[in-house]
Amino acid sequence: MKILAVSMLAVAGLAASVQAQTYEGGTGAGGSVVDFQVWDGASWSNNANINPGDRVEWRVVVSYTGTRTDLFAMGELLMQPYFGGVDNAGAGPTVDFAEGGQGANSGNGIPGSMLSIGTRSDSNALGAYGRIAPFGATAMTTNTTAANGSQMQLYRHSGGNNGAPAGDWIRFAGGSGTVATEVNETWAVPTAALAAAATANDLNRINRGVSAFQQSQAASGGQHTTLLYPGDNQTSGLVTFRGAFLASSDLPVGTDRIVSLGSDDRFVKRVGGTTSADNRRYMSWQTSSADAGTSTSGHRTGVAFDGATITILLPTPGSVALLGIGGLIAARRRRA
């Protein structure tokens, strides 16, 4: 009987542990949505039209879309934003550039390093970019060297270099502060390749993403959304990140250029870590004021990504010809 009682207690403990790590939805769908938005000149939207050389503001908005009604607040999200279809050729204003707080220390424990809550909806160009308070519980700071630190960096990929998909990309990620052999520029391995197992380096490439994470309300006091945003919905419309995109000043003649903004499951935390074949990806939500909603507690969900596009309006052959004629006439008038 004693053996049975012990066994029953063990099963009960296991059940409690499983219940504390609930999972909803699935990889790439259900549970939560990460919405990338750009300022279109009038509102936050999923598309903006700009001219070569222009800049556009962008932000990340997180919402719970599952079936639970008892969640307390957002817990943790890890991802790596990227731009596709970019202009990586040339230098200076002849290439696309993205601002996202790279190269600067940030975190709740670093005074003045987080963007204020007022930047959530501010469409103006900001003096600094990156994570918005209080979603910086995990600090991004320099480590041993600039090449091996954990600061957020901007990485360029062209022609499939360093494991990236084909095409031209700009990606945000942090460096590795723990694995000396890690190559910071390496794109995360395809999701399918991690279905059977994940190496420490694979996990490291995932875990050096942009962290949006807040401590529990009980532990962090005034650094929690419920106190910073009193009266707000704590599980929907949470703006966690602000950035800016600066388009190349190149004026090639042809069809408009479309740049995509988003992320995907390759850069989202893996339930199995390096010890299990469980390849489900997740973000987490706090279930109470005492819950931090990390990988060992809270409610985990799959993540769906809603991307945005930036259309760069390029001149047509006809408009270039008209511009040339107009310039010629203006030059003749100046001579006269």
**Helix (H/G/I), strand (E/B), else coil: 320:** helix
* Alpha-carbon span 165 to 42, nearest angstrom: 33
Degrees, nearest 5: CA angle 212-216-222 = 90
* Alpha-carbon span 27 to 295, nearest angstrom: 16
Say what the pLDDT of residue 318 is.
Answer: 55
* Alpha-carbon span 44 to 38, nearest angstrom: 6
Say what the pLDDT of residue 295 is.
Answer: 66
Helix (H) or strand (E) holding 227: helix 225-228
* Alpha-carbon span 288 to 292, nearest angstrom: 8
Say what the pLDDT of residue 195 is.
Answer: 66
Q: What residues of the chain score a pLDDT lower than 70?
A: 1-20, 143-149, 175-185, 195-197, 274, 295, 317-336
pLDDT digits (tens, 9 = 90+) for 120-145: 999 999 999 999 999 998 888 875 55
Report CA Rg, the chain: 23
- With tokens 């000396």, the residue in question is 180
Say what the pLDDT of residue 140 is.
Answer: 85
> Among candidates 129, 49, 63, 27, which has minimal Cα distance to 311?
49
Helix (H) or strand (E) holding 118: none
Contact 286, 223 (CB under 8 A): no
